[in-house]
Structure 1
Amino acid sequence: MLDKIRRTIQKYHMLNPGEHVIAAVSGGPDSVALLHVLISLACEYELTLSVAHLNHGLRGSESDAEEQLVRQLSKERGISCSVKRIDLQALRKCDRRKCSLEDIGRQERYEFFTALAAEIGASRIALGHHREDQAETVLMNFIRGSGLEGLKGIRPVRDGCFIRPLLEVSRRDILDFLQAEHLPFLEDSSNSEDHFLRNRIRHHMIPLLQELYNPRIIDTLNRLAEIARREDDCLKSIVDRILEDLLITSLSEEGTVSISISRLHELDEALQYRLVKSLLERCVLSPRRVAFTHIQAVANLCREEKSVGLLFLPGNVLVRREYDNLKFSLSEANTRSELNSPLKNQKVIGFSYALEIPSVTEIEEVNRVVKTAFIEKVELGFFNVTRNSACFDFDKIEPPLVIRNRREGDRFQPLGMAGTKKLKSYFIDEKVPRRQRDLIPLLADRHSVVWIAGLRLSERVRIDDRTRSIVKIEMI
């Protein structure tokens, strides 16, 4: 295994002699193996090693046991160990973006590692991702409809400091290494739960693909990631050169970026979309990724016959068309109140988000958050039903479950009614203003709409005496 890791380090130029490296160690098998691989290579590369551990406080005594193991491993090997404790549940309650626990935890880890590196003068931060992690990430991004940027998966080197020396070795290699070296580790009990998409992919989808379609699917997905990474990097460099040729490098002093639509249309369509994506990313002052729906909305604005148009996007981004000029800017006026009362020329773009249970999903297009959770039947009596919440029978759902705005042909069976009706007719009957209909989030499965946020639940998913699995959904 060490020889494979050496080749990976050399292939991606992960280490230079004499560097100070932080090993991010959780106490699980991957990170424990990572630490001992770095110890084995320390003399060869003249490395200075430090250990970092973030205790999320999510699993009580189990989290404390992991922290103790990391401290003990570091002490026995004479390596300095920095530990930070956080209350992740409390952080999520205070988080205005209403991110998931996983997202907040990831952000906290990276901020902790980066701050520690600056404090102790480390130039590299090593993470323990391996081949199966890469395959799972590629499949997750594929399911979500990602382009090349998602299919490239986990980067071997990120931001010049985060490195993943184990990325080309397997989980089996890691476990064999730990056994051979008699190294202790702890398994995270949450890895066995199927509530999270990654775990469902790991426990069910990949074994099914291996059994029925391709026994080497892990290798195939890793190869796909490598190909996508090379091609994505190539496209990015081409777009950067185009922007430099057009003298577009950043937001102007007025906070705008402008480009000629005719010049944009001279490019291949793939480059047009990439260039628009790059311009949107330069405007957005947050880590949120620009979605395909946002790029498509800008492309549609450029193709319309009208010479003037306006488009509001998440992150306070305003895209304005003025004849042949397309202007991107940050608009403090892009607030929820404006989204709920659209201007005459404002365009509302389509949105659709895959919905997991439990989860917290932000609908950026309308500045709303959807929270879902399983509850027990006995809890129904304590559930405070509001216009923006509902409970339904999970077993009556036909996956996949999504939260989106309306589509042509949508149908709905209002609670208490025997038949279905067109969603358009329902909105007319309920006197919902036309300008607001595209802004209303809908919960839908493969068959039909099952909940209209703020209005009504579908009869098809109503809870009855035979209901076993109940889902609570709330719109914030």
Structure 2
Amino acid sequence: MRPSTGSPGALQSVIADQLDLSGLEGETLLVVACSGGTDSVALAHAVGVRRSLVIAHIDHGLREASSRREECRCVDRLGEILSVPVLRRTVPPGEIAGRAGEAGRSLEEVARDERYRLLLDILGQIAEERGVNPVLLTAHHRQDQLETFVMRAFSGRSPLGALGIPRERWLSGPRGERLPRFRVLRPLLECPRRDLVAYVRHQKLPCVHDPTNDDLHHLRNRVRLRALPLLEELFSPSDLSLRVSSFLGELDLLREGLRALIPHDAWGDFGTDRWSLDTGVFHALPRAARELVLRDAVYRLASGDRVSFRPFQRLVAGEGPVESAGLVASFRKGRLEIRQAVVRPVSIGYLWVVDTELRLRLVCEGVSAIRIGEEPAARGGWHLGPVVPPVVVRPRRRGDRVLHRGKKREVARLLEAPEVSSLIRGCAPVVEDREGVLALLGRGDPLCIRDGVRYTRDTHARPPGFITLGVAYEEAENYAERE
């Protein structure tokens, strides 16, 4: 039987019990992601009255300036009440909406990705400054679990994948970044939202209402405001969420049991950038076991945490090849192989892949002729990001465009600016990631960078999600004489 969280003391005790069950030591530094809304305010206070913590606040830049200021004041006030620090990251207004439109993704999805990227940045700052690995707490509760289940179950998600919100996960940066992984816990998953609302009222805590939670353009809001009330007419709200929570727990047990039955040699062999398994061993497994093995390989090799397994379902049936999520999978020479689709640096062409750091020497032999090679000297460098790997340095192509100052602009036009020399105009390479052109490499600073991307001199520590580039231009003697 689940413990009641109906009183303030009970909620604090239940959260403390959940943290104990997670194996946290008493001195572990906790960071609570707080938006200023009821749920995260209740979590931060219920944790903060019993142990020290840091509040992490992300201003997504999605609302009116007055609403955003009110949200910041609310979070700051909560920090004062608990006598704990508040660390904040701010997204420029309109940036997330513009990025969603350019990429053809939902505003909710892009905002979520940016939120976790910035939370990772805060965790990295704390780890560097305090010399400890903090644990992040988020305020997902029982109704969030129900909404997530409905969305995923009716979108065709496989029961062998996650149909609900896991109690914990690991948060890490893009593949190739030498960053620590941070643990994320959700201690409120068994708590109904009404108890969180009652807690905030009883404690007279500051909180704000986010009007985007009422916007029916977002799928989660349509599920919460339209679909769930229909289900709750048939089942009581508490019974419904409890049944879904119980069902998800049983699914977890089934998956764990199936994983335990898979032979050790059937999990395949991992290298630094690939995985492989004998096709005979793979096809001898039951279909559900084949899917679990593939999921394990894909999620361990793919970059980021938003990876769709759906394209790789073809491999379960013995079909291929498949190319998705920065991976290439195929059956070849008696083995099923999945490898990261990253090209190694070559200078014929030219194409150089940037893992985390690359220093180049560019020798211009004419208005558009260039030789490129690695530059061992660490000079003239800067950090650029955030990036979406893989990142490459390549020649400029006709039709290259970059999102710059709110518009998609032709790179060739940007190079026509009078302050750009003919040498740089002809030779400036392009830095590109999975989302398109990141920047143009100039003699010193970047000539232009994509909206939402920043750069800083490499005299500072490289921020999470950034790459380090160093560029040294040279002119071949005969070219300098002609000019």
Q: TM tier, shorter chain?
A: 0.5 to 0.7
Other structure's SS at 1:265 match: helix
Task: Name the structure 2 match of 1:208.
Answer: 230
Task: Name the structure 2 match of 1:218.
Answer: 241
Measured at CA, do residues 112 and 233 of structure 1 come closer, stay the same or move farther in structure 2, by a change above 3 Å? farther
Task: Name the structure 2 match of 1:22.
Answer: 31
Measured at CA, do residues 205 and 35 of structure 1 come closer, stay the same or move farther in structure 2, by a change above 3 Å? same
Measured at CA, do residues 181 and 119 of structure 1 come closer, stay the same or move farther in structure 2, by a change above 3 Å? same
Measured at CA, do residues 260 and 200 of structure 1 come closer, stay the same or move farther in structure 2, by a change above 3 Å? same
Task: Name the structure 2 match of 1:266.
Answer: 284
Distance 2:274 2:22 in 1: 37
Measured at CA, do residues 119 and 330 of structure 1 come closer, stay the same or move farther in structure 2, by a change above 3 Å? closer
Alignment partner of 1:315 out of 315, 321, 325: 325
Task: Name the structure 2 match of 1:248.
Answer: 268
Other structure's SS at 1:161 match: strand
Alignment partner of 1:52 out of 53, 56, 68: 56
Alignment of 1:164-175 (within 5 A): 164-175=186-197
CA offsets, 1:105-137, max 9 Å, x none?
222222222222232235211111111011111
Distance 1:150 1:258 in 2: 21
Measured at CA, do residues 41 and 271 of structure 1 come closer, stay the same or move farther in structure 2, by a change above 3 Å? same
Other structure's SS at 1:259 match: strand
CA contact (8 A) 1:317 1:329 kept: yes
Distance 2:321 2:253 in 1: 33
Measured at CA, do residues 175 and 291 of structure 1 come closer, stay the same or move farther in structure 2, by a change above 3 Å? same
For 2:107, the aligned partner's letter is: L
Alignment partner of 1:227 out of 245, 250, 255: 250
Other structure's SS at 1:329 match: strand
Deviation at residue 57 of structure 1 after TM alignment: 1.3
Give TM-score, length-normalised by structure 1. Answer: 0.60
Other structure's SS at 1:51 match: strand
Deviation at residue 283 of structure 1 after TM alignment: 4.1
Of all paired residues, the percent bearing the same amino acid is 25
CA contact (8 A) 2:15 2:47 kept: no
Count matched residues.
314
Structure 1 gap ranges (5+):
43-47, 303-309, 334-476
Other structure's SS at 1:148 match: coil
Q: CA RMSD in A?
A: 2.6
Measured at CA, do residues 224 and 89 of structure 1 come closer, stay the same or move farther in structure 2, by a change above 3 Å? farther
CA contact (8 A) 1:88 1:105 kept: no
Task: Name the structure 1 match of 2:109.
Answer: 103
Deviation at residue 238 of structure 1 after TM alignment: 5.4
1:75 aligns with 2:80: yes
CA offsets, 1:241-263, max 9 Å, x none?
63xx25834236xx543322211
Other structure's SS at 1:289 match: coil
Give TM-score, length-normalised by structure 2. Answer: 0.59
Deviation at residue 182 of structure 1 after TM alignment: 1.5
Choose between structure 1 and 2: higher helix proportion: 1
For 1:192, the aligned partner's letter is: D
For 1:276, the aligned partner's letter is: L
Distance 1:128 1:316 in 2: 31
Task: Name the structure 2 match of 1:375.
Answer: none
Alignment of 1:29-44 (within 5 A): 29-42=38-51
CA contact (8 A) 1:152 1:227 kept: no
Other structure's SS at 2:318 match: helix
Deviation at residue 66 of structure 1 after TM alignment: 0.5
Task: Name the structure 2 match of 1:428.
Answer: none
1:299 aligns with 2:316: yes
Structure 2 gap ranges (5+):
6-10, 128-132, 171-181, 344-483
Task: Name the structure 2 match of 1:456.
Answer: none
Distance 1:196 1:52 in 2: 24
Deviation at residue 49 of structure 1 after TM alignment: 1.3
Measured at CA, do residues 213 and 71 of structure 1 come closer, stay the same or move farther in structure 2, by a change above 3 Å? closer
Measured at CA, do residues 256 and 234 of structure 1 come closer, stay the same or move farther in structure 2, by a change above 3 Å? same
Measured at CA, do residues 298 and 58 of structure 1 come closer, stay the same or move farther in structure 2, by a change above 3 Å? same
Alignment partner of 1:85 out of 85, 90, 94: 90
CA offsets, 1:251-305, max 9 Å, x none?
36xx54332221112222211122233333344334342333422x213335xxx
CA offsets, 1:343-396, max 9 Å, x none?
xxxxxxxxxxxxxxxxxxxxxxxxxxxxxxxxxxxxxxxxxxxxxxxxxxxxxx
Measured at CA, do residues 207 and 151 of structure 1 come closer, stay the same or move farther in structure 2, by a change above 3 Å? farther
1:131 aligns with 2:142: yes
CA contact (8 A) 2:41 2:207 kept: yes
For 2:337, the aligned partner's letter is: K
Distance 2:123 2:109 in 1: 21
Task: Name the structure 1 match of 2:71.
Answer: 66
Measured at CA, do residues 149 and 182 of structure 1 come closer, stay the same or move farther in structure 2, by a change above 3 Å? farther
